[in-house]
Structure formats: structure tokens, C-alpha cells
Amino acid sequence: MEFLKINGGYGEGGGQIVRSAIVLSCITKKPINIENIRKNRKKPGLKPQHLTAISILKKISNAKVIGEEIGSTELKFVPGEIEDLELVEDVGTAGSIPLILQVLIPVVSLSQKKLCLTIRGGTDVLWSPTIDFTKFVLKEAYSRMGINFELDIIKRGYYPKGNGEIKLQVFPSNAKSVAFSKRKTNKVKLFCTFSKISSDIIEKQIDKIKENLEKENFHVERKIINEKAMDSGSSLLVYSIDEDSIIGIDSLFDKKTQRFDLEIEKFLDSLGVDNNLADMLVVPASLAHGKTTFQVKEITKHLETNLFVTSKITGCKYGIGRLSNGFEVIIEGILDSSIK
């Protein structure tokens, strides 16, 4: 059997390569061999959340997998036929649910299948998008690309115990090309949830962020909800959506500094999409008919890596053009006749 070799140490050399590669392997039916997985990290190799994603994809696509263990720096993934499924999964502790959903949603939807999934783990944890980013920002972007899913948050799960729970439904779709150029709206939504933290502290922080946004001439709609969770924690999402842009930035409450580590400048400077969302558009754009374009403030290592891996597997073409205030990314999708 011939494997397409992927260097897991390319670019930023993180888990994004693994996620994108196995997604595209399932959709295109191409066996892949990922080497040097996370080799630039303090603890190289696969982590629990990677294994959970691989394990679920293995069930969905009837795949054969070699190297499916914690710390493994090489993985061989041979996809089979994808099926409609109803699953119940547990990441364990506070492993990131949103990172796993990034893998599952495009695979199932673009393979013209259905998935009903209940999964437990971390909904709002470090080094991962929050579950609210997935529900409000990614869902909007994917819906414009033809990918539809429903997400219900049953219970929040913060570090270290996690124990959050969500229910996901994914529906069959065909990917569509999109264009995101520049934000036109001055309307912003600010959504915050918290558990076992003083409401006064949270509200003070939110008021300060709201005030800073209003100084930049944004009209802010805020919502704060006290939700029960096993561990104390708080999650914040700031986002704006119009016909030409989808921009979100999220943050977790730092219990040591008693504030949100929110990089508000990145929200203010964003063009058509934010940096995190840009990464997530690459895979569906590579399989859509026509050209997808989006403008970003910067080309991150994550985005650069994702473009490289995706083009290697699908054969899509991409280009990056410099603008006066950022960059434009153009992805010409490959509508592969083998994808049914």
C-alpha cells in the first residue's frame, strides 16, 4: 500500500498538522503516514485529545491505524468507508472538545454523512478555541460554506477536571467557496459564562472590556451567564458578524491575575476573518468548487502550515497577496470526483 508521507514537524509542527491530515485522509480516501509528530514540543508525540479524535474518526471511517498511542511520533492512517453513526465519547479530564469537533464536523459533513455525538471533556480550556467560538463563530462561517451542524452545550468543563458535555449533530453537505473581505459592522456581541467565581469580579472585567470597545466606536451587546461546572472558571467571547466578515476572539479567566487575557487589539485589527478562524477555513475551502478568498491581518504559522498540508493532500492551489494593511489568501478548491 502506498502512503502519502506528511512531515509532522513542518512549520509550527503542532497538532494542527495531525488534525488536518487525518480529516483530509478520511474525505479523500488517501492513506497517510505522518512522521515527526509534534517534534518541536516539550513533550513530543500524540496527546489524549489527538487520540480521541483519531479514535472517533477510526469508528466513523472504519479506518486501520498504526501508532495510535500517547507519545507516538508516527501515525499511519488508512481510511475506509464512512458511515452514519450515533456515538457517546469521553475525552477524559479536560481534553479539548472544540479541537476534536474541528476534526469531526468537516469529515462527516463533506463525506455526505450524518453524525449524532455526545462527548464529555473540556469545553473551555487553554490552547484551544472555546466551545462558544465553535458555536457562534465557526458555525456561522461553516454554514456559509455549506457545512451545517447543531451544537448544544449541556454542561461546561474547565481545567483540570473537565467533565463538560455537549451534543453535536452534523448534516451532509457540499462545500461552497466564500469571500471575506473587510468588516463593515460596528455591532459587537460580548458573551461570558462563569462558574464558582465572584459575579462582581466578572462583571467588573466585562464592563472594562465593553468600555474599551465603545471607545473604538463599537456598539456592544453583552450577555453574562452563571453556569454550573465541576471546576471554577470563566469563558469570554467577543465577536462581530456581517455579510463580508466573521471575526471572533475568545479568552479564559486567569484566576491568578483575576482578569481575562484578551488580546483586544487582534479583534480591532482583524479584516475579513480572525486568525483562528482563518485556519479552520482552509480544509473546506480546498474541497469547494471555485475560489475562496479571505483577508487577514497576518499569516500565522498555523495558517501557513495548514495551507501546506492541505495542498499536499488535496492538490488544491493557494496564493497569498500582500495588502496595505494585511494579506489576502486565495484557495482554489479541488472538487474531487472520488468524494461522495
Please indicate, yes or no, if residue 235 is contained in any of the structural domains. yes
Summarize the confidence of residues 96-118 as an average pLDDT: 94
Which residues pair with residue 110 across a beta bridge? Answer: none
Please indicate, yes or no, if residue 203 is contained in any of the structural domains. yes
Torsion of CA 232, 127, 23, 70, to 10 degrees: -80
Predicted confidence at residue 228, as pLDDT, reads: 92
Summarize the confidence of residues 191-206 as an average pLDDT: 97
Into how many domains does the chain fold? 3
DSSP string, 305-321: HHHHHHHHHH--EEEEE
Summarize the confidence of residues 244-258 as an average pLDDT: 97
Last residue of a domain, one of 244, 269, 294: 269
Looking at the structure, tell me whether residues 4 and 16 fall in a common domain. Answer: yes
Last residue of a domain, one of 38, 64, 80: 80
pLDDT in tens, 285-337: 999 989 999 999 999 998 998 999 999 999 999 999 999 999 999 999 986 43
Looking at the structure, tell me whether residues 302 and 323 fall in a common domain. Answer: yes
Grade residue 48 by pLDDT with cuts at 50, 70 and 90. Answer: confident
The owner of cell 497576518 is 298
Residue 340 pLDDT more than 50?
A: no
Looking at the structure, tell me whether residues 278 and 238 fall in a common domain. Answer: no
CA separation for the pair 163, 267 (Å, rounded): 30
Is 134:90 a contact under the CB 8 Å cutoff? no
Summarize the confidence of residues 221-241 as an average pLDDT: 97
Predicted confidence at residue 39, as pLDDT, reads: 82
Please indicate, yes or no, if residue 257 is contained in any of the structural domains. yes
Grade residue 52 by pLDDT with cuts at 50, 70 and 90. Answer: confident
Looking at the structure, tell me whether residues 191 and 262 fall in a common domain. Answer: yes
Q: Name the residue range of residue 12's domain.
A: 1-80
Q: How far apart are the first and last CA of the chain?
A: 22
Which residues pair with residue 7 across a beta bridge? Answer: 35
286: Cβ contacts below 8 Å, ≥ 6 apart: 24, 310, 311, 314, 316, 331, 333, 334
- Among residues 134, 161, 179, 151, the alpha carbon closest in space to that of 233 is found at 161
Please indicate, yes or no, if residue 152 is contained in any of the structural domains. no
The CATH number assigned to the domain holding 249 equals 3.30.360.20
Q: What phi, psi does 313 have (nearest 5°)?
A: -80, -45
Summarize the confidence of residues 23-38 as an average pLDDT: 94
296: Cβ contacts below 8 Å, ≥ 6 apart: 270, 271, 272, 273, 274, 275, 278, 303, 326, 327, 329
Looking at the structure, tell me whether residues 217 and 275 fall in a common domain. Answer: no
Is 59:85 a contact under the CB 8 Å cutoff? yes
CA separation for the pair 250, 264 (Å, rounded): 9
Looking at the structure, tell me whether residues 202 and 253 fall in a common domain. Answer: yes
Predicted confidence at residue 335, as pLDDT, reads: 63
Looking at the structure, tell me whether residues 203 and 275 fall in a common domain. Answer: no
CA separation for the pair 225, 108 (Å, rounded): 32
Is 76:30 a contact under the CB 8 Å cutoff? no
30: Cβ contacts below 8 Å, ≥ 6 apart: 4, 24, 79, 313
Which uninterrupted H or E stretch holds 206? helix 199-215
73: Cβ contacts below 8 Å, ≥ 6 apart: 8, 35, 36, 37, 38, 39, 44, 45, 46
Last residue of a domain, one of 33, 58, 80: 80
Grade residue 277 by pLDDT with cuts at 50, 70 and 90. Answer: very high
Which of 50, 219, 289, 302 is labelled catalytic? 302
Grade residue 173 by pLDDT with cuts at 50, 70 and 90. Answer: very high
Is residue 302 part of the annotated active site? The answer reads yes
Share of the chain above pLDDT 70, in %: 98
Predicted confidence at residue 92, as pLDDT, reads: 79
Residue 40 pLDDT more than 80?
A: no
Please indicate, yes or no, if residue 162 is contained in any of the structural domains. no
CA separation for the pair 205, 224 (Å, rounded): 11
- Among residues 273, 300, 282, the alpha carbon closest in space to that of 23 is found at 282
The owner of cell 474599551 is 212
Strand 187-195 and strand 219-226: the pairing is: parallel
Residue 282 pLDDT more than 60?
A: yes
Looking at the structure, tell me whether residues 276 and 250 fall in a common domain. Answer: no
Looking at the structure, tell me whether residues 245 and 287 fall in a common domain. Answer: no
Looking at the structure, tell me whether residues 8 and 54 fall in a common domain. Answer: yes
Pick the residue with more confidence: 210 or 91? 210
